[in-house]
Structures are given as C-alpha cells and as structure tokens.
A = this chain, B = another copy of it.
C-alpha cells in the first residue's frame, strides 16, 4: 500500500533530521533536506532550526507566567522563507525575537554594493544567491538584565562564470544597561572558549571587530560591551567554518541565560527604567542608521520587514541632552561604551 509506505518513509525522514522539536516545519521540504543532507545549505538550515527551538524553549523557561513564543512561518514570493518567533510583553522578556530565514533569488544591487564596499570583487548584473541565517535580539524587562543579540549566517553566490562562492558570518554581543564586571567576564569567557575550540586567533580578532562594528558613529560610543563579530569567513575549510558557527550558536544560551537568572528579579525603580529606555533609543539608532543586516534586509525585494524590525525594543526613549554624571552607575557604563575594555585580560601585577 503505497500511501502508507510513503507516510512511513516521511516519518522516518522526519525522525532522521528530528524536526519534531522545531518551532515550525523547516522552510525547505523535508524530503529535499534529507536527500541533500550533506549539502551545506541543508546542514545550515537544520542547525539554525535546532538552535532556534532550543533557545526559545530555554527562554520560555524563564517566564514566570507561562508566556510563550508566537510562531510565524512565512514564505517569500521571490524564493525561500523563514520562521519568526516573538515573545512580547512577557514578565521576564519585554520583547524577544528569534528569526530563522532561508532565502534565495537574485541579489539586489544595494546588497552587491555593500559587499563590494567591504572588499568583495563582484561582477555587475543580478547575481543568484542563497542565504540561511538565524538572528535574535532579546530585550528583557529588568534593567539589570542586558539585551543580547546574535546572528549566524551562511551565504552562497553564483558568479556569471558559474563559480560558486560561499562564506559564513555572524557574532554575539551584549548590551547591558548597568555594568556588572562578573557578567561581562562570564559572557566574554563563554565566547572565547567557543572560539578557542576552533582557532586561538579568533577571539581576539573577532572581539576587536565587534567593538568596531557596533559603534554609534555620531555619538562616538559603542552600542554595548561587545562580544564577537566576523564576516567573510571561508577558511580553513567549509566544514571547519560550519563547525565554528555551530559552536558559537550553541554558546549563546550558556553565555546569557545564567545572567538572566541572576538578575531577573533584581529590584529597580523609575530611574533604572528610564535609563534602560534611553539606552534602547541608542539601540534603535544603531540598528536603523548603521546596521548592515537591517539595511540588507530592508533593501531586499519582498523582505519581511516585521521579521527584520522585531529587533527594535517594545519601548524606547529620547531625551534632549541627557548626560549622566561620570560617577553615577549610568556614567560608569558610559565610560566603558566610550572606550571598550578587554574583559579577559589577566589582572596586572605591581
């Protein structure tokens, strides 16, 4: 009986790539994913779907009144789609978004321009591309819990001569509202350990890159206390790169969730809330004015702007000429945002 056989086969396939815990069905049909399970496109898609599901569950676990992620699986007319998970107005998380997208089509001229501006030599004309990535921003309610952002992505381009080029990019970074040295060290140490598993040169390079990237030029301050950031990673092998981004993506929860647990019930008042909202205004400034991912997203035809802009906080505030005094807790954070710190530097001996 062929239908029964087909059902059994598809269940076997589903078990094989274990989609049962995913937030939604993957974008690519399961049989295609299974047939092409050795292709980097498939491997990346399955990896990011799994990271999304694992993270959403662990975040839901921090909600005290059972708030859950809202899941939207969407498709893009031009090719591909995504799964957007948003938890809004929770008691621990004011707004948390975890988005997976797997898209393909022709690269828009704006995106080509951007890739050229960072040194890629690309030919003119519409270039076929494939991109699979996970991106996430978590804005907690308590001002003593930092905001975290991460993004890991795999990119393929087909050049006019038929050549396929590919690279990985990504990063994880933390934006606290009040500085806590222990938290900063724990966060950076977790990222460094993930990097060191693959290449000892990664953490120092990617930490510096992160400080440079998440910089609000007009204010001459960093968005947060950094983390790691990299792009155009294509060495030593595709396999090595994939394993590296997999390790990084899996390091997000251990880098962050302990900090959430530690501070989510800290006492705070109006002063701390107002400061948090002001810093969220800076977050909005960075994302809308400078962030490459946001621009790439908004300039891609058929882009799902709700998924791109889920990174914006629920509430943000702008006060004219707000400047905390240097000695205040707020001023202490500002000092670190103005000149980034090496959190893992061994203490100097006298």
| A36 close to B (CB within 8 Å) | no
B residues less than 8 Å from A303 (CB atoms): 218
A218 engages B298 (CB within 8 Å)? yes
| A306 close to B (CB within 8 Å) | yes
B95, B281, B289, B318: the one within 8 Å of A320 (CB) = B95
| A270 close to B (CB within 8 Å) | no
Per-residue interface assignment for chain A, residues 259 to 300, with 1 indicating a CB less than 8 Å from any chain B CB and 0 otherwise: 000000000000000000100010011001100000000100
B88, B313, B314, B318: the one within 8 Å of A312 (CB) = B318
Q: How many residues of A are in contact with the other chain, CB < 8 A?
A: 32
B residues less than 8 Å from A315 (CB atoms): 277, 315-317
B305 engages A298 (CB within 8 Å)? no
| A86 close to B (CB within 8 Å) | yes
Task: Please name the 8 residue pairs, one residue from A and one from B, whose CB atoms are nearest each other, closest first.
Answer: A288-B288, A312-B318, A218-B305, A86-B320, A218-B298, A288-B289, A310-B320, A315-B317
- Given A289-B298, A315-B315, A316-B316: 20 more A-B contacts, CB < 8 Å: A86-B320, A86-B321, A88-B319, A88-B320, A95-B320, A97-B320, A217-B298, A218-B298, A219-B305, A281-B312, A284-B284, A285-B288, A289-B289, A306-B320, A306-B321, A312-B318, A314-B317, A314-B318, A315-B316, A316-B317
